[in-house]
A and B are shown apart, each in its own frame.
Chain A
Amino acid sequence: MPPVTMLEAIRQAIFEEMERDPAVVAIGEDIGVYGGAFKVTAGLLERFGWERVIDTPISETAIIGAAVGMSYQGLRPIAELQFIDFIACCFNQITNFVAKSHYRWGAPVPMVMRGPSGGGVHGGPFHSANPEMYFVHTPGLKVIYPSTPYDAKGLLKSAIRDNNPVLFLEHKFLYRRIKEELPEDDYTVPIGKAIVRREGRDLTIVTYAAMMHTSLEAAEDLAKEGIDTEVVDLRTLLPLDKDTILQSVKKTNKLLIVHEDTKTGGIAGEIAAVACEGAFEDLDGPILRVTAKDSPVPFSPPLEERFLPNKNDVLAAARELARY
């Protein structure tokens, strides 16, 4: 099998799940005839028909609301948000209706909300968001943010089969930049499990999504300087795999957290707290963060470049940490 892009991997997951289970349906804006703004759902309508691939009006609240209703009927809807920034329009449905449903009255909501997120493509303030923390702070949801085609496919399949509402974030910078060979057979990747992408002894970088690749590149550079870096890819942000984080921190005794989300209130703060609570005695240095600046995502290339964290930022922080 030739290697496939992350976008193709996501497409395959949707196709295969819809083939496997007629309860799986897709709903969103321009996903049918047009095949989606990024063509993730290209060919879906042709294969599965009007009843299973529903083009909606520009109504995010109606998309999420209808998906909840469909899931109450035992279906497993996959709701696309054309750009994840638009998730703000249906925040109420997600945080109040979807997330609290099982807790309040025992009604599971087996739905997936997915969409392209992240910056680096000059999308500007409304097409570049990393909205994960609004939802990581919402009990009842699961939040996935993969970094590789293999994980994207396997995790999306797990999300579709899960009985809980899952927010599946797809970093659009990675859509066509990363390729990987995928197994021919059906496989899933478990939700809530981080993975060690690179083993190391001197310090731990905890990261996810596009910054995973930045961190891996930095780790290779650091190796040449004699700093042996371990890279932990979270893959799922909620529930957070605390065990893998703590295990790595206990091994390397140093923690650097790298994410593309803004700094204040980003998941780095939560991970730092997890490390302090669970591995304080093991820490040999301060917990450092490399993140985006605390501003909206700017449009013009030099501004966005300044805003986003990059390899040099990671290198600088890692070198500082290595001095302890």
Chain B
Amino acid sequence: MSNPLSREQHLELYYYMKLNRALDEQLVRLFRQNAVVGGLYSNLGQEATSVGTAYALEKRDWIAPMIRNVGGLLVKGYKPRDILMQYMARYDSPTHGKDGTSHFGDLKGRHVVSPISMLGDLVPVMTGVAIAGRYLGQNVVAMTWVGDGATSTGAFHEGLNFAATQHAPLVLVVENNQWAYSTPVSKQVPIHDLADRAKAYGIASSIVDGNDVVAVYQTAKEAVECCRAGKGPVLIESKTMRMKGHAQHDPAEYVPKEMFSYWEARDPIARYEKYLTENGIWDEKAKASLDARIEKELKEELEFAEKSPLPPPELAEQGVYCEGCHTVEAEWKRPKKEVIPPQASVKPEWEVADFGGFDLPATMVKQAAVAAGNGRKAVASTSAPKTNGQKPAQKSNGRPEKSKMAERVPFGRGPKGKAGRK
């Protein structure tokens, strides 16, 4: 085990997954009581993917969840009441009733970016968060999730390509839950493994059993470390299954019954309970105490949510613009003088590794492990120690010092793999 988890951490993973599911079940009850406004999107069966990936992040890291990533929000410190009130369109919800579901976030405290309903759009946005974090010297990683369906969008491809050219510290979790509304993944893409998409962008990728929370965590942890070391972005395909319809109104009759049975036998929580028992990490008493805690908490959370009023109608036209209600301030973790002239100034000139033909240069040109925004300078701030040690390459003569550059994670093949700038 490359990232051994303590007993406490093991139990915490269980807590978040079980809370995710209990909250899901609570929302179904509320939906049946007509207490949910609009649609309800189940997370059932996907708890391990959301929780395991988000659990691999540090507090300062950023996430942008999609609709079935409530588990990630819980790990990031949101409470069930926030989700409940979002679905119930209450005033005390994070968006005060202006938006529903998991469509909320928190820039300053939890570092959560709100999704929108259009799929794939978070990929370029979180790339921006990631490269800004690098620019500011924060050493942060940005993580977002897309479903199998979202990999068909232009935003996914534009965003991933840009992230790759920028070597952005971005972990992109492709949550392959087999269905995009009623369309099976085989009609969504002509490939079996969505992780193969990474090859086209020359980035590292891995495939993980999305219903095995420990495996998900370990895979995500490695990806996060890879990004933090300046070797991002990384794509993780998590193979899992959406165990309900697209939303509560959809009985999912288009899904073969055998497929549900197959995945039901691989339920992430039942599997994890067995794992904890077989490995002696917990006993019946510990489980009972955690379950009781979740039940009690959820009851209190629901009471709070139900007491919250609907928003006052006049709120509808408020807050379209920021009129001094927010301060915009970057959190600098590196000396500003590094990005101010004259220190920031460079010789504006491209370098090309080869001339793009079929004749390879005699010596293979090594690329910087951490390429800068546009060009040649290895960005120092991705990991803290480099900040002082590595002199920006272009300060001497505008050209990188090849010998000092770390080798890039291997990728690509043939002449094209070596093309581009260094």
Contact = CB atoms under 8 A, between A and B. Distances in A.
Contacts of A69: 113, 124-132, 142
A93 to B, nearest CB: 6
B1 interface: no
A61 B155 contact: yes
A53 B348 CA distance: 10
Interface in B89-140: 94-95, 98-99, 103-105, 107, 113-114, 116-118, 121, 123-133, 135-136
Given A96-B116, A103-B319, A74 B344 contact: no
A310 B345 CA distance: 45
The residue in A60, A69, A108 that gathers the most chain B C-beta atoms within 10 A of its C-beta is A69
Contact of B341 (A47, A50, A104, A139): A47
Interface string B336-350: 100111001111111
B340 A22 contact: yes
Contacts of B130: 69
A33 B95 contact: no
Interface string A33-51: 1010000000001111111
Query: For chain A, which range describes its interface: under 10, 10 to 19, 20 to 34, or 35 or more residues?
Result: 35 or more
Contacts of A50: 346, 372-377
B329 interface: yes
Given A97-B116, A164-B322, A92 B121 contact: yes
Contacts of A103: 98, 319-320
Interface stretch (B65-73, B156-164, B176-184, B245-253): B156-164
A23 B330 contact: yes
A163 interface: yes
A105 B158 contact: no
Contact of B124 (A22, A61, A77): A61
Nearest to A93: B121
B125 A104 contact: no
A55 interface: yes
A49 B379 CA distance: 11
A57 B118 contact: no
B328 interface: yes
A140 B317 CA distance: 11
Given A23-B330, A51-B339, A108-B326, A66 B131 contact: yes
Interface in A128-165: 139-140, 142, 163-164
B326 A106 contact: yes
Nearest to B339: A22
B395 to A, nearest CB: 10
Given A103-B320, A110-B328, A62 B124 contact: yes
B98 A25 contact: no
Nearest to B133: A73
B328 A107 contact: no
A51 B344 contact: yes
A164 B321 contact: yes
A51 B373 contact: yes
Contact of B155 (A19, A23, A93, A142): A93
A105 B331 contact: no
B345 A70 contact: no
A294 to B, nearest CB: 30
Interface string A217-244: 0000000000000000000000000000
Query: Which of A53, A62, A142 has the largest number of chain B CB atoms within 10 A?
Result: A62
Contacts of B379: 51
A283 B166 CA distance: 58
A57 B135 contact: no
B206 to A, nearest CB: 24
Contact of B346 (A46, A74, A110, A163): A46
A179 to B, nearest CB: 27
A192 to B, nearest CB: 10
Contacts of A70: 128-129, 131-132, 135
19 contacts: A33-B349, A35-B348, A45-B346, A45-B374, A48-B344, A53-B373, A57-B161, A59-B158, A59-B161, A59-B162, A62-B158, A65-B121, A69-B124, A70-B128, A73-B330, A97-B125, A104-B103, A140-B321, A164-B321
Interface of B: 94-95, 98-99, 103-105, 107, 113-114, 116-118, 121, 123-133, 135-136, 142, 154-155, 158-159, 161-162, 165-166, 319-322, 324-326, 328-331, 336, 339-341, 344-350, 372-377, 379
Given A57-B158, A74-B132, 9 more contacts: A50-B374, A62-B124, A64-B124, A65-B155, A66-B131, A69-B132, A74-B330, A96-B121, A97-B116
